[in-house]
A and B are shown apart, each in its own frame.
Chain A
Amino acid sequence: MTSRRDFLKVSGAAGAGLVLGLHLEAKPRPGAAAKAEFRPNAYLTVKPDGTVRITVPKTEMGQGVRTALPLAVAEEMDLDWSKIEVVNAQPGPEFKGMQTGGSTSVSSTWTPLRKAGATAREMLKAAAAAQWKVGADQCRTEKGFVVGPGGKKLGFGDLAEAAAKLPVPKDPALKKPADYHLLGKRTPRFDGPAIVTGKAIFGLDVRRPGQRFAAVLRCEVPGGQPKTWDDTRAKAVRGVKAVLKVPTGLAVIADNTWAAFKGREALALTTTWDEGPAKDFNSGALEEKMRAALTGPADEARREGDVDKALAAAAKVLEAEYAFPYQAHATVEPMNTVVQMQAEGAEMWTGSQSPNRAQERAAAALGLKPEQMKVNVALIGGGFGRRLGTDFSTEAAQVAKAAGGGPVQVVWDREDDFRHDLYQPATLHRMRAGLDTSGAISAWAHRIAGPAVLRSWMEGQKSPAQASVEANGALDIPYALPALRVDFAEVEAPPPLGWWRGIEIVPNVFARECFLDEVAHAQGKDPLQLRLDLMGDRGVVKFGREEADIRRLKKVLQVAAEKAGWGRKLPVGHGLGLACHAYDGRTYAAEVAEVSVEKGQLRIHKVTCAVDCGFAVNPAGLEAQVEGGIAFGLSALFSQITWEKGRTVQTGFHDFPVLRLADMPAIETHVVPSSEAPSGMGEPPVPLAIPAVLNAVFAAAGKRIRRLPLGLDSFK
């Protein structure tokens, strides 16, 4: 199986775009010629005052990378955590192919960052040893100091200049986990103090001297274009400077955001549109096509044994259709980017999950070379995959170019954000299971029909890996099944698509884990026992190029079930449901939900989650990811994007409900200790929340829900 991870990787450079071992010369600070900074690699700089600046090659979007990644450096270097600065890497020769997605931030940087820290530590020790004329092995590091024989101490800052002149060690030894004093401990978020005082600068907060603000009037139907317009009334709005045609629509340039919005509103009244080829697209027609595709030809993602034969021979065949709607990312911070044109090139400030791609695309749109487009990565008010897209940053570059002169911030409003998202597509799932005369599963067929996210990411091209990417979560079903087929029937549709927190794994695991629950009930078997039996004593199982250790999955399922009190007597109207998955074969998670259904009202009381994501770099951050991931998953029980006349019906949080505080269940997280390398935690909790809750609904009310979102009639 080729995973989405492969498509997020950029050829050549390792995931983090690392340049380890590259010896960067010591640079005297301007105005402090005597003392130099020590920069043994692209990730860290020791300043003469002892402060250490750590450069993070991943974008912070709430998943805690600006805490977790510096921890790895700080641990190996024995830094004083109160004396670090954290800066975001800029795309360029030192950082190539930066991408923050696929829950890979920690796993892909874990080794390089620790090595970077260890390299610096060894060089600082060597510098101190030379000064003291002792062996480096007689020195150790402690909270920003090198400590020598007899308790002599020298600060890292005082050693920076000397260390910078030393050769870079090739393979410095990494610490043993038993010696960790930062990694594996609970560390609060590095940006916490800036956030609670309002000082944290998100993309939308970027202010450059002379900055103007722009809103773009785009066709409500993605891909449409303005035909005629009259800018008189827009220009009459106080503060509006110009109305300009740009590739995505009409840009209103103003002194402030409100004037840009008001000018745009006035402009909209006079604009006529060529709505383009997507103008008749609607959800109902798409669903009919998807339903037809459930029984037509498809691309096979995985096959074991002869499913058709096994189904034909089955004593009983269970069949069900599952439906998942289009979803929006709905980050609370709408899309935005500042671009400033310069004499030779341009500079950009953007909250991007893929800064190099943003750089390349924007540069290309302006006829520049990538290196002529300097990109500064801002904090992100929610990413969830939306900001892997470069549509908004490229558009801002086009607007700034059209406007000429100083910096321009393009601001999207809430409606723009919903109408021009890069959506998670709708899918239908045809699930079939054959049972033999003993009641055991003899065949499993999972057909997925819908638009392909990967095609959008590949700019309309069909990748040979399309079926396996779109079937992620379905093809890596962890259960031993004698005959199995998972396939994907693409149904093309106009809306632009993108990666969404949990990606295709969310709908695929929803269908898979709920249908398995149906099978368990048809067999008269306990859903937990059925899963444990189907995992049996399997060890490492291969799914194409990926593999998963089923023992680790079994363990988290057992822990979650035990902690949630699976099998205990529940109050009337309550039910427990469970689901589990080995996410990309790296993070193992299981969730048990407790719900009640009373008078047609669903309440989700509690979700118990057990995870094994290898070594837990920062347990505090990990728990936050579990809570957030579950909230994101639960929101998708209630939200959907639907299409009428080519445009979204939903335009804001009022008609695209996301979970609110009162709806949030209690979350209990259990981390299964592991010494494996750390893996990601941003997405794995998301896909399990839906099936765990819906299986609990069945246990509570005997009602099988196969179609999302939940509606008023779901419990009738």
Chain B
Amino acid sequence: MPSYQLTVNGRVRPVDAEADTPLLWILRDTLGLTGTKFGCGQGVCGSCTVHLDGQAVKSCQRSLKEAAGHAVITVEGLSKDGSHPVQKAWIAEDVAQCGYCQPGMIMTAAALLKRNAHPTDGDIEEAFADHVCRCGTYPRIRKAVKRAAGSVK
């Protein structure tokens, strides 16, 4: 059976699963990290977004084989205690409604602000183009990203 070393939130986790298993299901079912959500499995909703070597990627579109050997950060690993500037901005703007899409949104925001400390509206729109929030929290997402601007190291 193929066995892989996956580095998730700074910990090396041996994973014994088929090479083509999407990272999403390894996180959720094998490692029990259910903060990363399943919304479509088709790469079009963004709920499953995690960081792979600091880049926001859709974990439903990355296989275990592709992820192995790279640093994976999930929403659980963004901070120990919800103190990441994006998480704090999210609370300050009271963004969440049902909350289901939010971990993915937060991961995209964190990656965006890391590479672009002060994104324009256009930058924000582009970064979130592949995200769906059926509850319509978009105005607050925009505000929260702007609030956290400049504070992601």
Binding site for B on A (CB under 8 A): 60-64, 188-189, 191-202, 204-205, 207, 213, 238, 255-258, 261, 330-334, 379-384, 411, 413-414, 620, 624, 627-632, 635, 652-654, 658-662, 664, 666-667
Contacting residues, chain B, for A658 (C-beta < 8 A): 132, 134
Question: Can you list 23 A-B pairs, Cβ within 8 angstroms, ordered by A?
Answer: A60-B98, A188-B91, A195-B102, A196-B75, A197-B81, A198-B33, A198-B34, A199-B76, A204-B37, A238-B18, A258-B22, A331-B134, A333-B39, A381-B98, A382-B98, A627-B137, A653-B132, A660-B131, A660-B132, A662-B128, A664-B136, A664-B138, A666-B139
A sample of 12 more A-B contacts (CB under 8 A), given A62-B99, A62-B135, is A191-B96, A192-B95, A196-B106, A197-B76, A202-B100, A258-B22, A414-B41, A414-B45, A628-B137, A653-B45, A659-B138, A660-B138
Contacting residues, chain A, for B34 (C-beta < 8 A): 198, 201, 204-205, 207
CB distance from A409 to the nearest CB of B (A): 10
How many angstroms from the CA of A201 to the CA of B22 in the assembled complex? 21
A652 touching B44, Cβ below 8 Å: yes
A198 touching B76, Cβ below 8 Å: yes
A330 touching B103, Cβ below 8 Å: no
Judge if B140 is at the interface, Cβ distance under 8 Å. Answer: yes
With A332-B134, A627-B136, A653-B40 already in contact, the answer to whether A200 and B99 are too (CB < 8 A) is yes
Judge if B30 is at the interface, Cβ distance under 8 Å. Answer: yes
Contacting residues, chain B, for A659 (C-beta < 8 A): 136, 138
CB distance from B87 to the nearest CB of A (A): 4
**Chain B positions 27-53 with a Cβ under 8 Å from a chain A Cβ:** 28-30, 32-42, 44-45, 47
A63 touching B82, Cβ below 8 Å: no
Contacting residues, chain B, for A383 (C-beta < 8 A): 98
Contacting residues, chain A, for B87 (C-beta < 8 A): 196-197
Judge if B66 is at the interface, Cβ distance under 8 Å. Answer: no
Among candidates A201, A207, A384, residue contacting B134 with C-beta atoms closer than 8 Å: A384
Contacting residues, chain B, for A188 (C-beta < 8 A): 91, 94
How many angstroms from the CA of A62 to the CA of B100 in the assembled complex? 9
The residue in chain B whose Cβ has the minimal distance to the Cβ of A629 is: B136
Contacting residues, chain A, for B42 (C-beta < 8 A): 414, 652-654
Contacting residues, chain A, for B75 (C-beta < 8 A): 196-198
How many angstroms from the CA of A213 to the CA of B25 in the assembled complex? 12
CB distance from B96 to the nearest CB of A (A): 5
Judge if B129 is at the interface, Cβ distance under 8 Å. Answer: yes
Judge if B7 is at the interface, Cβ distance under 8 Å. Answer: no
Among candidates B21, B32, B137, residue contacting A624 with C-beta atoms closer than 8 Å: B137
B125 touching A195, Cβ below 8 Å: no
How many angstroms from the CA of A383 to the CA of B81 in the assembled complex? 29
The residue in chain B whose Cβ has the minimal distance to the Cβ of A624 is: B97
**Chain B positions 7-35 with a Cβ under 8 Å from a chain A Cβ:** 18, 21-22, 25, 28-30, 32-35
Judge if B142 is at the interface, Cβ distance under 8 Å. Answer: yes
Contacting residues, chain A, for B1 (C-beta < 8 A): 238
B96 touching A256, Cβ below 8 Å: no
A197 touching B94, Cβ below 8 Å: no
Contacting residues, chain A, for B81 (C-beta < 8 A): 197
B29 touching A258, Cβ below 8 Å: yes
A379 touching B99, Cβ below 8 Å: yes
